[in-house]
Structure 1
Amino acid sequence: MFDGSLPEIGEVAALSDAALIDAAGGWGRVEAAACARKQAAMAEIFVRRTGLDAGERELWWVDPEAGVAAELAAALNVSTGMALHLTHRGVALRDRLPKVAELFHSGSISDLLVRAIVWRTYLIEDPDAMANVDAALAEQVVTWGPLSAKKTEQAIDALVERFDPGALRRSRDSSQYRDVTFGSPSDEAGCTSMWARLLTGDAKVLEQRVNEIAGSVCDADPRTLGERRSEALTALADGLTELACQCGDAECAAAGRRRTSPTSTVVHVIADADTVSAAQVASATDTAPAFVIGGGILPSSLLAATLERATSRQVRHPGVDASPETRYRPSAGLAAFVRCRDLTCRWPGCDKPADVCDLDHTVPYPLGPTHASNLKCLCRFHHLLKTFCGWLDQQLPDGNVVWTAPTGHTYITRPGSAELFASLCRSTGKLALPEPRTIAQSTGDRGAMMPKRRHTRV
């Protein structure tokens, strides 16, 4: 694939404009071909692991499908959900769209186009119709030329309509789902986007209430309508019906409103003491940013508004000589330190917020003590995966965790605070603990204790 026929990075500056266009197109084809091979490998191990007679394992909470997805996620350094999406795409190409897959393998079509094809054809149930659509797509797709995303979908839908109209109707019906999602990779630090699909009537009611609350201040309020609408959504969540005006006029009736929340929702924000002090006095000092657990970076300039409603608690590093606690459940202080050090689940590629994770004893209690050097955050899914599915883990005094997969591959995860709050990652002391393989051998086959689903994944 890298046969020297395409220019390397160090060579591009000397190329003509035409040669640069040729290079971009050539490497695009290489990228598509590499992506096709990656997904084919993922599909092969997925089918191999899940195609066997699973028996009772289909009722395991961490069933074979979830287990192999987590293993692939660690290898690719992506989330388990992303790994599962990629794997299912590879399986669809292998089993449902072999002719399209051939074009993908040769680099003739892009991964973006393949995604659209897999998505728009996934509700075709008739094997003959699926084969006809696959053949027609392979014949026509290379002739389409540059198309917008919408036109690409329309071209695919036209072929689906031709061979299996029922699948297209099912696809259109399924696209009308309702959902609310928070966050996007393109979000700027300190802000989180929200996307929602609502029933039209519900959306109209929400729009009216947001506009009413946004309009509850005087005309001199310095915020834009968009900023007030944004704050109105938060006010609704707090059970409020008005905003406090920020005009600065002592005579304004809306300026004296106090923001009180009847709810018990807790948001955890971590910040250095210097950052908090600077925010409290509105100092322009260049201080480190804060971090919202489950939300991401919060620039120090935006911290002051959060502090107005915050209850501050000091998180202390336990030190290198701290004694283990004498019980299974860690104290509030130790638990707070571990969650602030880790910030997220410590599984490779997982970003589940630490405040909704379990506190896992790396070496199971009582063989392993309740101590900062033996505790880490794991979401419930990955906690079960570690316990029952053959993974081994070793925790180092600085909070790093070395994971060993069932295949023998190793991955290292660093605490989430390593770059933001390095002081939390100072050594918490080395413990005399048994080796991970010794622990695994002593516990034997634990599959019999795996929590069960009431229904299979299907």
Structure 2
Amino acid sequence: MFEGWDRPGLAGLSDEALVCALTAATQDEAKVAARRWALIGEVIARQCDGEDDDHAHQVIDGWAWAQAAVAAACNLNPHAASKQMRIAQALRDRLPRTAALLADGVVSATVIDAITWRTHLVEDPDALGLIDTAIAAEAGEYGTHSEKALIGAVDLWVEKFDPDAVVRSRRAAKDLYVEFGDKDDPNGVASFWGRLRITDTKILEQRLNALADTVCSNDPRRRGELRAAALAALGAVGPALERLACECGDPGCAGSGKDPRAGAVAIYALTDHSPAAGEDAPRQTRPGAAGTPDSEPAATGAAPENQEQTPAAESEPAEPSEPAAPAAHTESAASSEPAEPAASTEPAAPVAGAPPAACNPSPAVMLDGAIIPAHLLAELVAGGAKVQPLAEIAALPAEPRYRPSTALTAFVRMRAMTCSFPGCSRAAHRCDLDHLLPWPAGATHPGNLGPLCRLHHLLKTFAGWTPTAKPDGTIHWTAPTGHTYNKAPGAAILFPHWNIQTPIPRKRAITLINDTDRDTTGPRRKAMPVRTRTRAQDRAQRIKAERARNATARALTHSDSDPPF
């Protein structure tokens, strides 16, 4: 990994010179970060400063324009780009003295990240100036402390000059919330936590306990496991669920039968070929092809099926399309999407490309990147998950209609796996399915379709970002500034043996005969969606609400304290 470094030159440095060089490199890193944030701040200023009220109420406002440019240039998803933009704004407009320290390499980018977050609730300019001065006077010492000590040091000045602006715990600041997933979750499981109203908590607890009581006494699961199974089953089946599937193993048990959770999962299969002797890479195969003697068992992917409908509009992203579910790929496989049942969706029916019951399937990958271990995948298949192969390229010609078929929709989403915009990681099943060259000039064909999240769909339609499809599934984007970016499909990285080479259809000449042939990209679909409140108004409201909670908490703390003597 160090082939490009001057290793002989580094080896020739004395211990003192080596540490000095390391210190200088650390300071240079901070200076580069300062320049990067200064550039981001200028991008924001050009798009947002002086923005009129009409433009600020549009969904694609100045911030969205700047966010797209920053996200593509820095290869960030929209959330990460917004975070970098908030830091840049704080350094440019709120904390100039602290920004100067960063530019001199005195503090690190990590320290700046913490400082800008801990001061984001401060509204009074005078208080902010005092805090900036105090931070700048001592910031040189902060970098030597732990992050906890740093937060305490910054909070000390915020508490002194604007106590209502002290950032409390995010979790404690929210009245009601539910969060899913943690970076330390092992494969195959995901943690969740939250806070409900006490009455809602009791209702949910009673419902889960009642379902847990429906299994027989020989079920091996503990109480907590049964309640977890009941909660998952409610999500899959809904309130009509009357009992859990018992795992006692007795076929005569009244609760034996298929697990309803598995029935809410659809799996797309893709044959997993291993390289033969003398081959450098796996051979490309057809999606869904049956296994051969020199191949691995067909791998599968799994996904929940009871999801809300995902819109698939061309220039009016609010129009819904067929339902789409979180699909899963495997180490060699594609995933799921239950818009319409495939030819064979019986729970236990063997399907071409599906793993034989006696074989161990490969692990699966959900479209959002979550890993499904092989043993869990096998349990899903045995429990009644639908298994079906993906359509082959040859079986996906251009379709004579605007809305793509279920098979075409599945192929396009499984190929891309995420939003097709540079840097965006939103799962494809949560995206619009867009005609890259608008219909009807652009055909409903795998070479002209790509998933785009709502934000980037609107940017493509209204903000001048132009996509061009490539035969290998890559989308080539041209920004309004003329810069170009490429977004490769996720399947090309995870499943290089899968043949996703797709011919690009020509632009069609369209002659409108009557209203049924009307171009769906006409003026009726060109209205930019607007928001009730501007982005700045939303942010001001959130800050106001959090400051009010802080003020209430402080008042309660003072009222509960012992009187002075």
TM-score, normalised relative to structure 1: 0.81
Alignment check: 8 A CA contact 2:393 2:500 kept: no
Cα pair 1:272 1:288 within 8 Å, conserved = no
Residue 130, structure 1, aligned to residue 204, structure 2: no
- 1:454 aligns to 2:532 (yes or no): yes
How far 1:342 moved relative to its partner? Answer: 1.5
- Residues 80 and 256 (structure 1 numbering): CA distance in 2 closer, same or farther, change over 3 Å? same
Query: 1:85 and 1:268, CA in 2 relative to 1: closer, same or farther beyond 3 A?
Result: farther
What is the deviation of 1:183? 3.0
- Which of 146, 163, 166 pairs up with 1:165? 163
SS at match of 2:490: coil
Give the C-alpha shift of residue 202 in structure 1: 5.5
- Cα distance in 1, alignment partners of residues 197 and 25 from structure 2: 44
Change (3 A) 1:200 1:36: farther
Distance (Å, rounded) in 1 between the aligned partners of 2:473 and 2:233 = 39
Q: Structure 1 residues 107-116 or 356-365, which shifts more?
A: 107-116
Among residues 281, 287, 293, which one is paired with 2:357 in the alignment?
281
Q: Secondary structure at the match of 2:375?
A: helix
Match of 1:367 in 2: 441
Let me know the Cα RMSD of the aligned residues: 3.8
Change (3 A) 1:129 1:109: same
CA–CA distance in 1 between the matches of 2:380 and 2:18? 49
Residues 1:316 and 2:391 aligned together: yes
Question: Partners in 2 of 1:9 and 1:223 — Cα distance?
Answer: 57
Match for residue 139 of structure 2? 141
Question: Is residue 67–residue 82 contact of structure 2 (8 Å, CA) maintained in 1?
Answer: yes
The aligned counterpart of 1:438 is none
Counterpart CA distance in 2 for 1:9 and 1:270 is: 49
Identify the residue that residue 76 of structure 1 maps to in structure 2.
74
Deviations 1:45-66 (A, max 9, x none): 1111111333422122211111
Structure 1 residues 52-451: aligned runs within 5 Å = 52-144=50-142, 146-168=144-166, 175-198=173-196, 230-237=228-235, 238=237, 239=239, 244=245, 246=247, 248=249, 256=256, 258-260=258-260, 267=265, 269-273=267-271, 274-276=298-300, 281-284=357-360, 288-294=362-368, 296-307=370-381, 308-319=383-394, 323-422=397-496, 424-433=498-507, 449-451=527-529
Superposed CA deviations along residues 336-370 of structure 1, whole A, max 9, x for unmatched, are 21122122211111122222221111111111111
Q: Give the corresponding residue for 2:312.
A: none
Sort the Cα spacing of 1:430 and 1:161 in 2 relative to 1 into closer, same or farther, 3 A.
closer
- Report the 3-state secondary structure (helix = DSSP H, G, I; strand = E; otherwise coil) of the residue aligned with 2:458: helix
The residue type equivalent to 1:165 in the other structure is P
Amino acid in the other structure paired with 1:29: Q
- Bigger CA drift: 239-248 or 72-81? 239-248
Give the CA deviation at 1:388: 0.7
Is the Cα–Cα contact under 8 Å of residues 271 and 290 in structure 1 kept in the other structure? no
Structure 2 unpaired stretches of 5+: 272-297, 301-352, 509-520, 538-565
Task: Give structure 1 stretches of 5+ with no counterpart.
Answer: 1-6, 435-442
CA distance in 1, matches of 2:107, 2:431: 41
CA distance in structure 2 between the partners assigned to 1:214 and 1:349 by the alignment: 43
Match of 2:295 in 1: none
Secondary structure, counterpart of 1:449 in structure 2: coil
220-229 or 348-357: which moved more?
220-229
> Identical aligned pairs, as a percentage?
41
The change in CA–CA distance for 1:367 and 1:30 in structure 2 (over 3 A counts) is same
Q: Cα–Cα, structure 1 residues 56 and 24, in superposed 2: closer, same or farther, change >3 Å?
A: same
Partner-residue secondary structure (3-state), 1:417: helix
* Cα distance between partner residues in 2 of 1:145 and 1:402: 42
Q: Residue type matched to 2:260 in 1? A: T
One-letter amino acid of the counterpart of residue 131, structure 1: G
1:440 equivalent in structure 2 = none
Distance 1:177 1:249, change over 3 A: same
Shift of 1:268: 5.1
> Is the 1:70–1:80 contact (alpha carbons within 8 Å) kept by the matching residues of 2?
yes
